[in-house]
Amino acid sequence: MKKVIFAVIFGFATLFAAGDATIEIVKTMDKLPVVQVQDASNSGVSSLLRNNIFKLLIADLKITTYYDINEAYGVAGWNDSNRIGYGIDTKTDLVLRYKLTEELDDSITANTKLINTRSGSVISERVFKISKASHYPILPHSIIMSVVKDTKQDPVDWMNKYIIFSKNTAPGQSEIVIADYTLTFQQTIVKGGLNIFPKWADKDQNSFYYTSNSGKEPIVYKVSIMSGQREEIIRGKGILVVSDVSSDDNRLLLTMSPEDQADIFMYDLRSKSLSRITNYRGVDVSGSFVDDDTKVVFVSDRLGYPNIFSKKLKEDKVEQMVYLGKNNSSASAYKHYIVYSGRDKASEFGQQVFNLYLISTKTNYIRQLTANGKNLFPRFSHDGGSILFIKDYANENALGIVRLSVNKSFYFPIHVGKIQSLDW
């Protein structure tokens, strides 16, 4: 029997600012400022927790690309001097000092100071709290988000967005899991049966859709994160997948196959009405809204192989979007940008290579984002500045993130089994 499991997964750290002093050090220096992280926790705090928080703070600082990082484990007293020469390296421009407290109610509190070592001034003091100790990875993500804001850099709020994915656990069995972007925190929220294609229902990640294939026909459910309440949205035959949600959260793009072949449909949640977007004898799948939800991008075999096409919602004309490659799939969209996975020529070792490419609906712009291995399931961050994907290279799997503004990629090993699909 299907079982839906919900614990208290909303472990987003809350923060309280003590002072609003800011600096322009990042913007005005010719080089990246050097940041040193210092642990000022009391000796009674678990050494494992202290080390894990330190490692995640360093990793998060790296992935922002805004700083040079002194990776040596720094230890200091909370009230130690803020100036260079007093336990602070002379090359250091900023110190991030944190003090952890493990509370009796299983929560964790982190006090932080961001210090300008050149002037000795405290830029900001903050308090972060996570309600459940197992959710500790959210603490460093929240801390670094505040550091970025205090140093007047472009926000990295995507760090606190959960990834939701389906992983295969046995033949005919799969679970839906929520995780932070490093996969350090993971929690199974749906298990029992074949549960696939999870999709966030709103930007705040308060609920999600998924397809249950455990019965005689597929069913799309919507599930509330806070209450665990599950609501049936639509039933179908054959294929039934929620591939995208409109910007106002009121319309769903569905891949359905009521007549054997898959097509793109749109379901209006307010009127409970279903409308057909494509009507093709072959296969149309994976629809995504683009251009302010006036157009749909999708994958089709109209050329005899998977490729990327688009169609305005109020017109019948279908437009080919990609003219390179013979197997282009796994598309995702943000505003007028589209990222897709396309098969390239086999490598010198005879391995198939799938790379990610970024294109625009407005221009002939195309940009290659990856260079080797199999790069699949691309998903834009909510602000469009980063792309999440799965990388398979040399028999190893990793979760990859491309930071588009700086053209850098970062990877986190996957130890969760076979991922069937994901959303961010």
322-424 under CATH 2.120.10.30, yes or no: yes
Q: Quick one: tokens of 240? A: 């039934």
Q: For the chain, give the mean pLDDT.
A: 89
C-beta separation of 404 from 358 below 8 A: yes
Band (pLDDT 50/70/90 cuts) for residue 28 is very low
**167 beta partners:** 175, 419
**Within 10 Å of residue 346's Cβ, how many Cβ atoms?**
10
Question: pLDDT band at 9, cuts 50/70/90?
Answer: very low
pLDDT of residue 2 exceeding 60, the answer is no
Sequence ranges of the domains in the chain: 3-158, 322-424
Q: What is the pLDDT of residues 129-154, one digit of tens each?
A: 999 999 999 999 999 999 999 999 99
* Torsion on CA atoms 78, 79, 85, 90, rounded to nearest 10: 50
Going across the sheet that includes 207-212, the strands are 195-200, 207-212, 219-224, 230-235
Q: 366-388 burial string, b = 16+ CB within 10 Å, else e?
A: eeebbeebbbbbbbbbeeebbbb
pTM, rounded to two decimals: 0.88
Radius of gyration of the chain (CA): 23
Kindly indicate the confidence band of residue 306, based on its pLDDT and cuts at 50, 70 and 90. Answer: very high
Of residues 29 and 262, which shows the higher confidence score?
A: 262
- Quote the DSSP letter at residue 52: H
**In the predicted structure, residue 6 carries a pLDDT above the cut 50:** no
**Residue 48: CB partners within 8 Å, gap ≥ 6?**
none
Q: Which residue has the tokens 């019948």?
A: 316
In tens, the pLDDT along 215-256 reads 889 999 999 999 999 999 999 999 999 999 999 999 999 999
> pLDDT band at 26, cuts 50/70/90?
very low
- The pLDDT tens digits for 83-117 are 887 768 788 999 999 999 999 999 999 999 999 99
Query: What DSSP letter does each residue of 141-182 carry, written as one string?
Result: HHHHHHHHHHTTPPP-GGGGPPEEEEEEEETTEEEEEEE-TT
Domain 3-158 grouped into CATH 3.40.50.300: no
The predicted-structure confidence for 283-305, as pLDDT tens digits, reads as follows 999 999 999 999 999 999 999 99
The fraction of the chain above a pLDDT of 90, given in percent, is 77
